[in-house]
Structures are given as structure tokens and as C-alpha cells.
Amino acid sequence: MNNITYEFINYKSKEFKEVSELRFKILFKPYNKIHKYDYDELDYSSIHLVGLDKGAVVAYSRMTNYNMNSKMTNIVVSEKYVGKGIGIEMLKRHKIKAKEFGVICLYLNARLDTINFYKKAGFQCKGNIFISEKSGLALQPMYFKIN
């Protein structure tokens, strides 16, 4: 989508309240495991990226532990914007940022219904599927080597 802009933000920015709402709506509310989700311990030390449509947050992702191996978490795109290349674009931008920090590998835990999306973005499955303690969902560990 041509009208989407992407910005790296701080967890103290005005957009972060919208980020919290979007994360809860997509990652937790449908599964009835958590009734409220605002911040977690990783928000304070992560690199946050938002996709904005006319200033409104429509996508979000974060990179944590930005050392040699960095984890991608909370990757979400608002339902109305799914399938428009926003998630792929956000991952591309995180890969560039990761390279700037000297990261050699990005990893994540994908919901089973998102594995093909991450494969399109260059991630590969690694290890066994496990059940998340936080969400109760089955997750597949995946990784991407930075060139």
C-alpha cells in the first residue's frame, strides 16, 4: 500500500498506546488467555516499528535482544490490512536495522497459521513445535540468517 509509512518508535511515544491495543486485539483477545495486555518487560529495551496509515497504527513489530541473535516478537497487522505486503515490508526494515547492529540471526516463534508467511520472508523452521505458556497456542520456532 502506497499510503503506509513506517517509523521506528520509542515505547514512550504517543503511538504506543495504539500499539498496545493492536497487540491485544490480534495476539491475545481471540484466544481468551489474557484479559488485558499493555506492556511487558521487553517493551523497555526493544526496537519498535509501526506501520501507519494517515497517522493511525495499522501494523507493529519489535526486535529484542539486539545482539548477535535477535528475537522478533509481537508481529501484527490489522485485519483490514492483511495481505497487502505490510508485514513483509516491516520484516525487511527490521532485517536492515538488525544488520546495522551486527545481528547475524533473527528468530521468532510463529503461530502455525503464519508459518508460510514467514517462509515467504525467508525464515526457516528450526526445532519442534511447542505450546506457549502465555497464549496457549502452538508455535513453531523459525530463524533468518542476516547476510
Residue 60 reports pLDDT greater than 70: yes
What is the model's pLDDT at position 65? 77
What is the model's pLDDT at position 107? 96
The total domain count for the chain is 1
- Residue 64 structural domain: 4-145
3 state DSSP class of 25: helix
Residue matched to cell numbers 493492536: 22
Q: Kindly report, residue by residue over 67-106, the tens digit of the pLDDT.
A: 789 999 888 889 899 999 999 999 999 999 999 989 999 9
Residue matched to cell numbers 504506543: 16
Question: With bands split at pLDDT 50, 70 and 90, how would you rate the model's confidence at 1?
Answer: very low
Domain CATH for 96: 3.40.630.30
Question: With bands split at pLDDT 50, 70 and 90, how would you rate the model's confidence at 50?
Answer: very high
